[in-house]
């Protein structure tokens, strides 16, 4: 959990303390950065911090982390509900707020006037157009997509997404930081769903259609991919893990942007979301959690 590579991003602000934001804050702190984790209520921030504590404690219980490392990581994380205050000293701001274009764009427009001119602005969006997320933001060359994967501390990939305006210096700095975080970066052009969500969601939707039409049980559809294709987790279980609501929003967006019938969300998925069967976070999805 310590390293010798110089860390350009000594101070990082993470906006949004949900599953992704908490995981991102944790890996940044593990890399040695001082992290300010912000959300709109003290309760959300507290929940995010608890999530980080729990993960680190499990690491200690498993013998993967020492108690000293756990404490050092936690000591590098402070929390706040003050968004502008969180970002004022930051060298890097990573946004992980809900997947709503207006929300993300408004946030970056507001912050680009508050942060230092060389502060890199990054969005963890999993599919939205980054050109739109960063529209009207001061200093578009410092804007980039940093798409992390759930569970953030365990997943090796970091998908970096460049817009037409992203500067090479930004790409270089964020690529070096990705390695510091212990992640393998890939560089993708700003396009609907990037590389990961476009392929991953496509597989997940087809699995739901197969389940809906009775091709096989959820367990057997998942086994087909786990045992037959070597995926770590089947597409239905993964949809439960990510959240049916999250994947439905991505599917609707990709259906519109790519005009491809493969991204048409199955009726079953819409019904399950309407009934609150959102997957792991609600206790029920294709599986009971």
206, containing H or E segment:
helix 196-212
| 232 forms part of the interface with ligand CAA (CB under 6 A) | yes
Does the footprint of ligand CAA cover residue 230 (CB under 6 A)? no
Q: Do strands 77-80 and 34-38 pair parallel, antiparallel, or not at all (unpaired)?
A: parallel
The span from the CA of 248 to the CA of 265, in Å, is 7
Q: How far apart are CA 264 and CA 262, in angstroms?
A: 6
The phi and psi torsions of 121 (rounded to 5 degrees) equal -110, 120
260 lies in the binding site for ligand CAA (CB under 6 A): no
Q: Which stretch binds ligand CAA (CB under 6 A): 4-12, 107-115, 148-156, 274-282?
A: 148-156
Among 18, 32, 139, 151, which residue sits at the site for ligand CAA (rule: CB under 6 A)?
151
Nearest CA to 280 out of 237, 226, 246 is that of: 237
CB 117 to ligand CAA: min, Å: 30
Does position 126 interact with ligand CAA (CB under 6 A)? The reply is yes
Residue 155 near ligand CAA by CB under 6 A: yes
How many residues in the shown chain lie near ligand CAA by CB under 6 A? 19
Q: How far is CA 14 from CA 25, 45, 82, 110, in A?
A: 6, 11, 12, 15
- C-beta separation of 269 from 240 below 8 A: no
| Binding status of residue 238 toward ligand CAA by CB under 6 A | yes
157-162/143-147 β-pairing? antiparallel
| Residues forming a β-bridge with 147 | 159
Residue 69 in the binding site for ligand CAA (CB under 6 A): no
Member of 5, 10, 50, 64 binding ligand CAA (CB under 6 A) = 64
54 Cβ contact list (under 8 Å, min separation 6): none
- d(CA 236, CA 66) in angstroms, rounded, equals 35
- Of 111 and 248, which has the nearer Cβ to ligand CAA? 248
Nearer to ligand CAA, 140 or 243 (CB): 243
Helix (H, G, I), strand (E, B) or coil at 121: strand
Q: Which is nearer to ligand CAA, 140 or 193 (CB)?
A: 193
Stretch that binds ligand CAA, among 61-69, 77-85, 105-113, 160-168 (CB under 6 A): 61-69
Binding of ligand CAA at residue 182 (CB under 6 A)? no
Nearer to ligand CAA, 84 or 186 (CB): 186
Q: Which is nearer to ligand CAA, 121 or 246 (CB)?
A: 246
Asked if residue 150 binds ligand CAA (CB under 6 A), the reply is: yes
Contacts of ligand CAA in 36-55 (CB under 6 A): 55
CA distances from 87 to 49, 52, 120, 148, 254 (A): 18, 21, 11, 20, 31
**Residue 223 in contact with ligand CAA, rule: CB under 6 A:** no
Q: Please report how close the Cβ of residue 55 comes to ligand CAA at its closest, in angstroms.
A: 5
Identify whether the C-beta of residue 91 lies closer than 8 Å to the C-beta of residue 35: no
Under rule CB under 6 A, residue 58 binds ligand CAA? yes
Q: Rule CB under 6 A: which residues touch ligand CAA? A: 55, 58-59, 62, 64-65, 126, 149-151, 154-155, 197, 200, 232-233, 238, 242, 246
């Amino acid at each position: 959990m310590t390293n010798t590579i110089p860390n350009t991003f000594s101070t990082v602000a993470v906006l949004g303390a949900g599953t992704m934001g908490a995981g991102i804050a944790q890996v940044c702190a593990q890399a040695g950065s001082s992290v300010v984790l912000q959300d709109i209520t003290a309760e959300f921030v507290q929940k995010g911090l608890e999530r980080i504590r729990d993960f680190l404690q499990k690491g200690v219980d498993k013998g993967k982390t020492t108690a000293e490392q756990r404490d050092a990581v936690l000591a590098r994380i402070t929390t706040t509900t003050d968004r502008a205050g969180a970002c004022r000293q930051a060298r890097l701001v990573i946004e992980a707020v809900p997947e709503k274009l207006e929300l993300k764009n408004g946030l970056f427009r507001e912050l680009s006037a508050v942060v230092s001119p060389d502060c890199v602005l990054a969005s963890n969006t999993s599919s939205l157009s980054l050109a739109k997320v960063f529209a009207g933001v001061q200093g578009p060359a410092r804007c980039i997509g940093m798409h992390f994967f759930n569970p953030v501390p365990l997943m090796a990939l970091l998908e970096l997404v460049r817009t037409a305006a992203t500067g090479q210096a930004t790409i270089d700095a964020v690529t070096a930081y990705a390695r510091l975080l212990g992640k393998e970066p890939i560089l993708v052009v700003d396009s609907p769903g990037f590389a990961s969500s476009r392929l991953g969601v496509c597989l997940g939707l087809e699995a739901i259609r197969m389940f809906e039409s009775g091709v096989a049980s959820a367990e057997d559809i998942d086994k087909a991919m786990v045992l037959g294709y070597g995926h770590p987790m089947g597409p239905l279980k993964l949809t439960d893990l990510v959240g049916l609501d999250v994947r439905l929003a991505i599917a609707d967006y990709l259906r519109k942007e790519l005009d491809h019938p493969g991204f048409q969300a199955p009726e079953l998925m819409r019904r399950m979301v309407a009934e609150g069967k959102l997957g792991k976070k609600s206790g029920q999805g294709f599986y009971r959690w």
